[in-house]
Structure formats: structure tokens, C-alpha cells
Structure 1
Amino acid sequence: MNERGLIYVFDGYCAWSYGFAQTMVDVAAAHPETRVEVLCGGLYVGSARVPIRQLGDVRATNRRIAELTGAWFGDGYERLTADGSFVMNSTAAARGFAALRRAAPERAVELAAAMQEAFFVDGRSLAEPETHRRIAQEYGLDAAAVVAGFDHPWSLRAAEADFARVRRLNVVAFPTLLVDTGDCPAAIMTGSGTAHQVEDRLSVLLGGVGRHAARE
């Protein structure tokens, strides 16, 4: 599949994206020869930026995600969101991811997963530079450069460029995984799924050329 690429659309604050994170890490590891472009979707922007208590029964949704995917919502996250006042800002999250992605583009899938773990397990706001500093340090990246990038106007432009690209791809649900066949990217997975399911869909879509390394 090296002549084609994958496009992974997620949002740092999307719980369903968090549930899919390990699947995406496994898929990327199974296809080291394949380019994976990671884009931020922009779930909580504009009027969607409201206190978490206004988003319905978030805990019920999280329980469902945990049942389907095995994802764990940590004590730090529970403390941060307990009173319902926390406001998720996807633009800030995308700025942080842009800075991390710039530091290590070949590790974008891992960094996306690490960013979501910082929020959904440790309860660290993705609007705080310190969150992204910690991730950079954990992955052996230039933490000072990542923080500087987060604070620089270019990261806002990068976030907005991601959101615009996602709209052009007609992606409206997160996470979505697409395969770029050189013409019109085709969605192969939305919401939740295992690495085996992704491999099966890749194999069908690409005429049996998908590898099944994730099964091994």
C-alpha cells in the first residue's frame, strides 16, 4: 500500500477518537511503509464550545466507548470534568497538535494518541502549553520548540488549515479513517473499530493488497 496513503481525522477532545486511538496506532505500525496524514477535525469550536455539562450524558457515552473499545477514562479526567464546568476548546488542542506534529511528523499518530491520553486519562487541559511540553519531553522532542510553536500564530493557521481540509474531505464525524487512492479519498472506518476490521476493509477496498500484519 506504499503508493497510497491514509488520512486519519480525529479531534483531541473527541472521546470516540480516544477510543479509536490504539487501533490507529496498531494500523500505522502494521504499515510502516505507508504515509499517514493526521488532521484535527475541530469538534468543539465556535458555538460548540460550551461547559461539558451542556453536552448531554457524557459519562454514559464514555461508558459505551469503554465497553466497545476497552479505553480507560482516568481519575484525572474524572476530577477535571466532575463539576461540568470544563470547556473543551478544539482550536487550542489543534494548535498543540500542530506543534507536536511539526516536531516529529513521522510520529503524528503516536502523538495524537498521547495527547488524548493526557486529557482522557490524566485530566490535563489541551489548552495548556504545559500539557504539550510534557508530551514533547516524553517523546524526546524539543519541548521548548513545541511550546513556542503552540504560542505562535502559525499554529492557529495550521489548526484552521486542518479544519478547512477536513471540510473539503466532507468528514463530519470523528474519528474517520480514509484511504487516499490518488483520486477521491474513501472513508474506511468511522467511529469505532479494531485493527483487524480496518485491515479487512483495506483489503477489500484495495483489491486484496492490504497486509494483515495487525493479525500477527
Structure 2
Amino acid sequence: MAAAERVRLTYAFDPYCPWCYGFGPALRSFTQDNAHRIRLRIRLRIRPAGLYTGARARPVSAYPRTAEECERVTRLTGVGFGAGFAQALTDGTTVADSTAAAAGLAVLYSRADEVGVPHLDAAEAVQMAWFVDGRSLADPEVYRDIADGLGLDASLVTAAYASPAPWEQARADFRALRRLRVTTYPTLLLHTAHGAGRLGGAASTAASLTAALNQCLAPAFPRPSFTPPPVSQGELS
């Protein structure tokens, strides 16, 4: 391996996907565990998916098995879901709209780049707004509050959210993931000269992700490992 090999990763997730929320701690630990490797420079791009667009952007009451699915996520990953989220499921009126959430992420990413806030911090904050607090990710005030928490200019964030640009970026991100043939979430892709290959699955640990990365980078294993997900994932039920 070169003295300073650059590794490019794409993380595809949807803010309304409970399996993506469950995968979050493993991804966070994986990036931290590998951040200071002298011979490795990792670039992680986080793209939102379009799970709930068009006819699928419906009130959560249209997906009655969500609570059951979240219990399964907790059993496999250990993450907890908040009381606000439980109440939102009981009310059932919040619309799962992935385009609105992706537009909010686009605004947060843009402002985060200006002050050096990692995109992963913004993505996690958006997930927590839904899975902990039960707030609609189509509410501009969610992004105002997240901006405050991340040290961003909240007024600029909410003003940008009302403009066409982040919505166009959201649709561009959806198209980019389709070109990569990503159809389930969460998906962590490693890009090499041979193409993009998947590392692990929804229930992967940070250690297993690092082991898979090391195997893909080893001379004896030049191609990325395509690992099928161990569980059904990537949508409200």
C-alpha cells in the first residue's frame, strides 16, 4: 500500500430508515478508529437516499409495522428510540418525505463545509430529530435547531432551505445513488479501480467494517467485497 493511500467511501442512507439509524454508531466508531492511521486517508461522502418520494411519501400510519421493525433494530444494534418518536408513530400524521430531509441535509452540508463541521455530525443530528424527538424532517425549524447545535448560522440555513437549490441537490443525490446501483440502506461503498463494492451490512460492527476494509486494501484481495445485508432493511414497514 502506498505511503499515504487515499480511500474513498460513500455512505448511502435515508434519514427515515431505522436500519440506517441503527448502523450510525458502528459507522461513527469505524471512522474514528481509522481516522488516524498514518498510511491511510479516508474520504467519506454521505449521500441521502430517496426511499420515500412520490407515492411513497406518505404518513407514517401507512407503515404500521414500523414500531416492530424498530424493536428489531434495537435487538440487533443496541440503539434506542426516543419517546418523541414513539409518540409520532402513535399520532401517525407525520409524512415520511425523503426529498425534504435530503434538502435539509444539503443545506447543512453546505454550511458545515464553511466552518469545518463533519457531514456525519449533520447526518446524525437529522436522524436524531426524527428517531429520538419525533420531529418532521420537512419542518424548517428542525434545521434551524440543528444549525444552532452545530454552530452554524441558523438564519442562513433556514433561508437556504426555502430556496430551490437544496431540493435540486437532493434529487441529484438520489440519481447518483441510482447510478451506483444502490437499492438497500444503509450501504457503505468502497471505491477502487475495480469499481464500487459494499462493506458489511446493517448489523455490521466497527471492527468488522475495519476488517473488511483491510481485506479489500490487501494486495491479495484487490477487489472490494460485496457482502449481502444480513437482514431485511431500508424502509418503514
TM-score using structure 1 length: 0.91
Taking only aligned residues, the RMSD between alpha carbons, in angstroms, comes to: 1.7
Unaligned regions of 5+ residues in structure 1, if any? 210-216
Deviation at 1:103, TM superposition (A): 1.2
Which has the higher mean CA deviation after the structures are superposed, 51-60 or 111-120? 51-60
Q: How many residues align?
A: 209
2:51 to 43, 52, 59: 43
User: Secondary structure at the residue paired with 2:46?
Assistant: strand
In the other structure, the counterpart of 1:57 is 65
2:20 to 8, 12, 17: 17
Which structure shows the bigger proportion of residues in helix conformation?
1
In the other structure, the counterpart of 1:202 is 213
Query: Matched residues in 1 for 2:5 and 2:112: separation?
Result: 20
* Alignment deviations for residues 13-39 of structure 1 (CA, whole Å, 9 cap, x no partner): 111111011111222222333111010
TM-score using structure 2 length: 0.83
* Alignment deviations for residues 39-92 of structure 1 (CA, whole Å, 9 cap, x no partner): 011110011112222224111100000111111110011111213232200000
1:86-165 correspondence runs (5 A): 86-105=94-113, 107-165=118-176
1:176-191 correspondence runs (5 A): 176-191=187-202
Deviation at 1:142, TM superposition (A): 1.5
Query: Matched residues in 1 for 2:72 and 2:95: separation?
Result: 22
Which is higher, the Rg of structure 1 or of structure 2?
Answer: 2
Query: Matched residues in 2 for 1:81 and 1:104: separation?
Result: 31
1:83 to 91, 110, 114: 91
Query: Matched residues in 1 for 2:74 and 2:149: separation?
Result: 25
Unaligned regions of 5+ residues in structure 2, if any? 36-40, 221-237
Which amino acid in 2 is paired with 1:15? Answer: P
Deviation at 1:125, TM superposition (A): 1.0
Query: Matched residues in 1 for 2:172 and 2:207: separation?
Result: 31
Cα pair distance change 1:67/1:208, threshold 3 Å: farther
Query: Matched residues in 2 for 1:74 and 1:2: separation?
Result: 40
